[in-house]
């Protein structure tokens, strides 16, 4: 199934998207609509799919929000997790933080307040804060059943589904502070959506991730990768993030980005006002955000 959150008629709604992708059906009473995590916890625990609470609507009539509009806590994010991406940064200031396949993943976080909808604008923070804004197309894992010390062998049973994120990054701020947290956590720096596809409908371990940038009226495919090329695969990431930390339903793990980020070009190609970034993942859908 595909689970989405949207606004319509001055209210927020939470429910399912039809297989055709043309219609949405509200399934959760309005007082609970902010809490996709509660729905995930119920479904992951074997609970029934809630009955419709209202009429079906054309998708074109509603405004999608992020499916997890405000995650309960920071998003787990993985750095340098595609070989080609690690290689494109090998001559940059990040050359010393390339993950090794025989080592441990790089893990950092973004604050929950970064999350915006699949078509919302991303706010450029201003030159005083950063002049090096970059995109990162990523498949994000949404945890279903929680747990601690989850072994690789059982990790996929804890995955509720997948969504698309843009791990927007301020490169100069990442470098300036050594730790990446500030440079990854500016307001609006995590477009998410268009919905969550449940793990029974999408094999997140092998799907295609693409990113287009439109700048000055010209659209260019910048990133084109497959999640089978992750250095640390999804079961390993769940195992890693749950080691000594109890994962909760609705937790998000962004799995890393393929090669083709702006920083990898010579000279770098930073995002500017009016640029549009579109990220599409096969079997999932697309998000598209204007930088303002």
C-alpha–C-alpha distance, residues 73 and 92, integer Å: 31
Paired sense of beta strands 252-254 and 75-79, if any: parallel
Q: Give the residue with the Cβ less far from Mg ion, 2 or 85.
A: 85
CA–CA gap between residue 101 and residue 118 (Å, rounded): 32
| Nearest CB to Mg ion, comparing residues 120 and 167 | 167
- Is residue 136 a contact point for Mg ion (CB under 5 A)? yes
x-marked contacts with Mg ion along 90-129 as a string, rule CB under 5 A: ----------------------------------------
Eight-state DSSP code of residue 198: E
- Contact assessment for residue 195 and residue 163, using Cβ atoms and an 8 Å cutoff: yes
Q: Which residues neighbour 138 within 8 Å (Cβ) at sequence distance 6 or greater?
A: 77, 164, 165, 166, 167, 209, 254, 255, 256, 257, 279
Stretch that binds Mg ion, among 9-17, 164-172, 209-217, 281-289 (CB under 5 A): 164-172
User: Strand, helix or coil at 61?
Assistant: helix
Query: Minimum distance between the CB of residue 117 and Mg ion, rounded to whole angstroms?
Result: 19
Q: Which residue is nearest to Mg ion (CB)?
A: 167
Among 88, 167, 233, 288, contact with Mg ion (rule: CB under 5 A): 167
**Residue closer to Mg ion (CB basis): 37 or 106:** 106
The reply on whether position 275 binds Mg ion by CB under 5 A is no
233 near Mg ion (CB under 5 A): no
Where along the sequence are the contacts to Mg ion (CB under 5 A)? Answer: 136, 167, 257
């Amino acid at each position: 199934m595909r689970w989405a959150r949207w606004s319509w008629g001055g209210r927020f709604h939470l429910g399912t998207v039809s297989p055709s992708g043309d219609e949405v059906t509200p399934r959760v009473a309005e007082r609970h609509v902010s809490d996709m995590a509660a729905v995930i916890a119920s479904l992951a625990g074997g609970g029934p799919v809630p009955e419709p609470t209202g009429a079906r609507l054309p998708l074109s009539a509603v405004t999608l929000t992020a499916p997890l509009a405000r995650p309960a806590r920071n998003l787990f994010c993985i750095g340098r997790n595609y070989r080609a991406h690690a290689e494109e940064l090998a001559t940059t200031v990040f050359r010393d933080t390339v993950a090794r396949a025989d080592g441990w993943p790089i893990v950092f976080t973004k604050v929950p307040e970064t999350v915006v909808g699949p078509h919302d604008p991303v706010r450029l923070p201003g030159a005083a804060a950063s002049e090096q804004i970059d995109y990162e197309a990523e498949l994000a894992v949404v945890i279903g059943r929680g747990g601690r010390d989850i072994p690789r062998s059982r990790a996929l049973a804890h995955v509720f589904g997948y969504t698309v994120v843009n791990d927007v990054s301020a490169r100069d701020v990442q470098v300036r502070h050594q730790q990446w947290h500030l440079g990854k956590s500016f307001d609006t720096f995590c477009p998410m959506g268009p919905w969550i596809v449940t793990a029974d409908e999408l094999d997140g371990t092998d799907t295609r991730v693409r990113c287009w940038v439109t700048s000055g009226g010209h659209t260019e495919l910048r990133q084109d990768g497959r999640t089978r090329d992750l250095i640390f695969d999804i079961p390993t990431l769940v195992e890693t993030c749950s080691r000594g930390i109890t994962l909760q339903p609705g937790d998000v793990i962004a799995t890393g980005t393929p090669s083709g980020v702006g920083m990898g070009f010579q000279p770098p190609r930073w995002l500017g006002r009016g640029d549009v970034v579109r990220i599409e993942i096969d079997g999932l859908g697309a998000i598209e955000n204007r930088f303002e």
